[in-house]
A = this chain, B = another copy of it.
Amino acid sequence: MQRYFLATPITATVGQTFTVAGATVKHWIKVMRAQPGDLAEFVTQTQQVVVAELVNSDGQTATATITAVTAPKVELPLPVIIACGLSKGDKPEQIVQRGTELGASAFVFFDSQWTVAKWAANKRERKLDRLAKIAQGAAEQSHRTMIPSVTYEADLTHVLVNTTYDTGVVAWEESAKQGESSQLVQTLKTMTSPQRLLAIFGPEGGLAPQEVNTLQTAGITAVGLGPRIMRAETAPLYLLSSVSFWCELV
């Protein structure tokens, strides 16, 4: 069933009627050609999922009646904020799309000292808008109950200051396990739901020594992600998969 995120609060009770507008109507009514009686899923702003039946639409707004209400548990027990140095080409898009499927709660892109890619100030808003749309599409497709936010910070210090998190890690080449298990596992073992994990990734060229110092001073733990070298856009996917495996499957 098609799924949409609601932009305004509703009363999620069976039999209640609500109205949708904008892009949701455009997609549901014009693209999907929904007819009165057709069903769709809508995610409320409190992460409930309602099934609703189309009553009528004038092409601008649509009215629907709730037929069922659920509150599925599909979000990671430990919210993960993915912070990446700006990388080239469509890598930010790939990180947001796949990272949303894998459960990230937020994405932060930052200007890193060794970043080759730059976002010109006058294009930044447009880039963030585009990434927000990709996050929404991926959240709908993967049946998430929240849309990850996508923001920009001028440097790593601003990421640390402006992000709310309980524990921070930075992806790092780790020569070997430290004792019984890796730093990543040791870190995850100290966390309990709903503590928030900030996971930082350098751009293609890695982080500069000064940035590494900043992270050490802030108490961010360097964690290895296995013995193979991953590209900038693959490492966040490894981390998110590992957090899911650890919290949701083990």
The residue of chain B having its C-beta at the shortest distance from the C-beta of A144 within the complex is B228
Partner of A73, one of B227, B241, B250: B227
Partner of A245, one of B72, B229, B246: B246
Report Cα–Cα, A141/B230, bound state, in Å: 8
**Stretch touching chain B among A50-58, A106-114, A180-188:** A180-188
Report B-chain residues with C-beta under 8 Å of the C-beta of A230: 101-102, 142
Chain A contact residues: helix, strand, loop or mixed: loop
A237 CB within 8 Å of chain B: yes
**A 118-152 contacts with B by CB, 8 A:** 141-144
A74 CB within 8 Å of chain B: yes
Are B228 and A103 neighbours in the complex by a CB distance under 8 Å?
yes
Report Cα–Cα, A227/B144, bound state, in Å: 9
* A81 CB → nearest B CB, Å: 17
Are B224 and A249 neighbours in the complex by a CB distance under 8 Å?
yes
Report B-chain residues with C-beta under 8 Å of the C-beta of A142: 228-231
Are A248 and B226 neighbours in the complex by a CB distance under 8 Å?
yes
Given contacts A103-B226, A142-B228, A143-B228, contact A241 B237 (CB under 8 A): yes
Partner of A237, one of B143, B237, B246: B237
Give the residue among A182, A225, A226 with the most B Cβ atoms within 10 A. A226
Are B228 and A238 neighbours in the complex by a CB distance under 8 Å?
no
The residue of chain B having its C-beta at the shortest distance from the C-beta of A177 within the complex is B249
* A84 CB → nearest B CB, Å: 16
Partner of A238, one of B225, B231, B244: B244
A35 CB within 8 Å of chain B: no
* A135 CB → nearest B CB, Å: 13
